[in-house]
Structure 1
Amino acid sequence: MSSVRARRGEAVPGWLRGEPAPRWARALPLGLLVVLAVADVFSDAVELDHLLAVLPPLAAVVYGPLNTALLSLAVLLLVHPFTPGSRADAGSLLSFTVASLLSVAFARIRSRRDAQLVGINAVAEAAQLAVLPPLAERVGTVRCAGLYRAALRGALVSGDLYDVRAGPWGVRAVVADVKGHDLSALSTVSALLGAFREAALDDADLAAVALRMDRRLTVDSAAVEHAELFATAVLLEFPPGERVVRVVCCGHPPPLLLRGGQAAEIRLDHAPPLGLGLAELGAPAVASVPLRPGDRLLAHTDGVTEARDAAGDFYPLARRLPGLAAEAAEPGELTEAVLADLVSFTGGGGRWRGERTGDDVALLLLQPEAP
């Protein structure tokens, strides 16, 4: 499964992002031209010339200037007064000619704009992937699968984040939810990820990693008036040679431990969210959870558990996860199954329904292997 695909938000149709129109749209003007031409030949009772007038503007929406010009020329030949069967007069021909010229000009402008949109979208996507690059299927001794759906239509990264890094103290992972879920949260996401990646290499204690991330947000918030930057986060550590996971939770939903066909939240002592001055309150508590062969952990953001169905009920992730896991052997299969079930629960009908969640969704599945 592509990590890029696993992080896409609700898809924006490609032709609205500057990409070529779908095949049916490209075939529509030519198909209508053929139908109207045949109907005009075999029907004398129906006036069809006025219907031909819509074809050049329609072609300008889906074709480039050359193809629009060719189709407009075909229309002009059909309505020309010297064409057998044509009922158009000189005035009508002039109107068709003006409409055709304007359609070609519009097609040229639209084609140039589409080329610019393609370039802009490519740069934006590359920038977002630089902030949150594709997650490897295995980091050290831990198999991973991440899935991200942004509330902002078409975005790859918004206000949620996850990452998994190997370092001197084992494999460390983070899932966090930054205040806000639009592009304004992207700089905060970048700052948090940078702090986490440095701390994963430098700090021996998992609580110190949380303190460094908190300090990063505190410093950034102080530099901007009324910034109010904060984020909930959960940090996990798989120390080398040990069958245990250490967890620090800063105001975030606890991870779920999937074991023996059951799923349950890990019991944790919650620290305040990052950015509110953890250092002044002391280091957050680190919980140590023994692991068994086959255990899997699912960390997530509240966009999952706070999603609602049509009746207003919250999505029961812990109750539905075991059944989904029974049919998903691979980590990536399970995260995709959770998203599909979430969409079905909220009545998405196969598409992401942001109006029933109003938040980003991030899932990170971690499956440690035996040391």
Structure 2
Amino acid sequence: MVKARKAATDAPRRTWLRGAPPPRWVRVLPVLLLVGVGAASLSDSVPVDLGFLLGAVPPLAVLAYGPWATAFLGAATIGLLTLPFFHLNRPGNTDLFTLGFVATLSVFVSFVRGRRDEQLDLERTVAETAQRAIVPDVRRQVGPVRCASLYRAAERGTLVGGDFFDVRPGPHGVRAVLGDVQGHGLSAVATVASVLGAFREAVLDDVDAVSIAARLDRRLVVDSARTEHAELFATAVLLDFAPRGREVRVLACGHPPPVLLRGGAVSTVELDPGPPLGLGLADVMPGTSTTVSLLPGDRLILASDGVLESRDASGAFYPFVERLAGMTGVGMDELPGEIWSDLCRFAPKIQDDVTLLILALDASGPA
């Protein structure tokens, strides 16, 4: 599985200004400044007094060091400024008091920053654990079905948005779902959790994709009734892999159908989609499912609106099928990252959740 939370082609890594540890150059900078000023003061070729630069050492130390290291660098700064050996102009009392106050204040700020970072790390760990519990990583192999996926939440700093997907084994075969709830970002996480919970129960009980869709539809209707003017709905594609053989039934509920990669050809699965989930119409107008016979090497690709509705600078939609035609030779595990890289090159700014789910039957499975 290509995980959107680790690789460069997936979710963005935390940077220094977004909670990651400071880069090495930030840690080295106050030490280099201290050593550089000391070395320059011993040279007769430097006509300018560089002692004023030492005032920057304690504040720079706050960015990367703890209280004890910051205190050491502050003391070293005062010592360097006052020792006659370094030929720096002898500072007055006011200069020393000012530098001492800055160094003391820097130690205090470093202590506060360290405590804050510990709390933020704890909160981030809890948040990531909760989000991963909602949308866990899909295994590379679920029964006879091989899986590869990519999930990129639109809201920066989160792992879960308004898209959902899962692949689960059950007594009636392997079931897969990919969908998009109303809205995106953290406001849609509760709906995603509710829909996926209903799907995982349905995999154990319901015998076909139509029954699963009816259960998801009922779940959203009930949740919507609890909140005034909620109007929760979701689009989804459901796949029902037969326990034996190489067939899969596909049902679309207001969502674009999957794309089939067969050899060097790319085609969209033709079916009659039903209404979105959450409107209370799944039992009345369930849509027409279609059966796809998969040959060895065939791959089904499901994509969310974040892929299909991304636009370039001129406003043109991302030509998903046409672009896939140039990727038929890419391996299954590498394909999600390849699509994501191509999408980033096409669209200058991606504003919606991006989800890809690629499924194929194991070549060693039954003929």
- TM tier, smaller: over 0.9
Following superposition, the deviation at residue 227 of structure 1 comes to 1.2
Q: Does 1:164 align with 2:157?
A: no
The TM-score normalised by the length of structure 1 is 0.92
Q: Does 1:190 align with 2:183?
A: no
Following superposition, the deviation at residue 303 of structure 1 comes to 0.4
- Range with greater deviation from structure 2 (250-259 or 82-91): 82-91
Select 1:65's aligned residue among 58, 64, 67: 67
Q: Does 1:363 align with 2:364?
A: no
**Equivalent position of 1:350 in the other structure:** none
Secondary structure class of the residue paired with 2:221: helix
Q: Does 1:318 align with 2:321?
A: yes
Following superposition, the deviation at residue 284 of structure 1 comes to 3.0
Select 2:270's aligned residue among 267, 270, 273: 267
Select 1:242's aligned residue among 245, 251, 254: 245
> In structure 1, how many angstroms separate the alpha carbons of the residues matched to 2:46 and 2:24?
32
Select 1:143's aligned residue among 135, 143, 146: 146
> In structure 2, how many angstroms separate the alpha carbons of the residues matched to 1:279 and 1:335?
31
Q: Does 1:292 align with 2:295?
A: yes
- Superposed, which structure 2 residues align to 1:6-21 within 5 Å? 9-13=11-15, 16-17=18-19, 19-21=20-22
Following superposition, the deviation at residue 2 of structure 1 comes to 5.9
> In structure 2, how many angstroms separate the alpha carbons of the residues matched to 1:283 and 1:198?
19
> In structure 1, how many angstroms separate the alpha carbons of the residues matched to 2:256 and 2:30?
53
Check the 8 A contact 2:198/2:219 in 1, yes or no. yes
Check the 8 A contact 2:307/2:343 in 1, yes or no. yes
- Range with greater deviation from structure 2 (1-10 or 148-157): 1-10
Secondary structure class of the residue paired with 1:147: strand
> In structure 2, how many angstroms separate the alpha carbons of the residues matched to 1:290 and 1:280?
26
**Equivalent position of 1:85 in the other structure:** 87
**Equivalent position of 1:201 in the other structure:** 204
Q: Report Cα offsets for 1:91-145 as digits up to 9, x if no partner.
A: 1011000000000000000011011111111111111111111111001111001
Following superposition, the deviation at residue 278 of structure 1 comes to 1.9
Structure 1 unaligned runs (5+)? 348-355
Secondary structure class of the residue paired with 1:278: coil
Secondary structure class of the residue paired with 1:325: coil
The TM-score normalised by the length of structure 2 is 0.93
> In structure 2, how many angstroms separate the alpha carbons of the residues matched to 1:190 and 1:84?
65
Q: Does 1:75 align with 2:77?
A: yes
Following superposition, the deviation at residue 57 of structure 1 comes to 0.7
The change in CA–CA distance for 1:231 and 1:13 in structure 2 (over 3 A counts) is: same
> In structure 2, how many angstroms separate the alpha carbons of the residues matched to 1:186 and 1:289?
32
> In structure 1, how many angstroms separate the alpha carbons of the residues matched to 2:39 and 2:316?
57
* Percentage of matched positions with identical amino acids: 49
> In structure 2, how many angstroms separate the alpha carbons of the residues matched to 1:185 and 1:365?
24
> In structure 2, how many angstroms separate the alpha carbons of the residues matched to 1:250 and 1:257?
18
For 2:353, the aligned partner's letter is: D
* Root-mean-square deviation (Å): 1.8
For 1:230, the aligned partner's letter is: F
> In structure 1, how many angstroms separate the alpha carbons of the residues matched to 2:24 and 2:83?
33
Q: Does 1:346 align with 2:339?
A: no
> In structure 2, how many angstroms separate the alpha carbons of the residues matched to 1:82 and 1:306?
69
> In structure 2, how many angstroms separate the alpha carbons of the residues matched to 1:93 and 1:86?
13
Check the 8 A contact 1:272/1:278 in 2, yes or no. yes
The change in CA–CA distance for 1:257 and 1:44 in structure 2 (over 3 A counts) is: closer
Following superposition, the deviation at residue 86 of structure 1 comes to 2.5
Q: Report Cα offsets for 1:322-355 as digits up to 9, x if no partner.
A: 32231x22x22111111111112224xxxxxxxx
- Superposed, which structure 2 residues align to 1:1-40 within 5 Å? 3=3, 4-5=5-6, 9-13=11-15, 16-17=18-19, 19-40=20-41
Structure 2 unaligned runs (5+)? none
Check the 8 A contact 2:2/2:148 in 1, yes or no. no
Check the 8 A contact 1:77/1:83 in 2, yes or no. no
Secondary structure class of the residue paired with 1:324: coil
The change in CA–CA distance for 1:31 and 1:325 in structure 2 (over 3 A counts) is: farther
Check the 8 A contact 1:172/1:235 in 2, yes or no. yes
Check the 8 A contact 2:312/2:346 in 1, yes or no. yes
Q: Report Cα offsets for 1:220-279 as digits up to 9, x if no partner.
A: 011011112111100011111232211111111211011121111111211111111124
Following superposition, the deviation at residue 207 of structure 1 comes to 0.4
Check the 8 A contact 2:49/2:88 in 1, yes or no. no
For 1:90, the aligned partner's letter is: N
Structure 1 runs of 4+ with >4 Å offset: 81-84
For 2:61, the aligned partner's letter is: A
For 1:45, the aligned partner's letter is: P
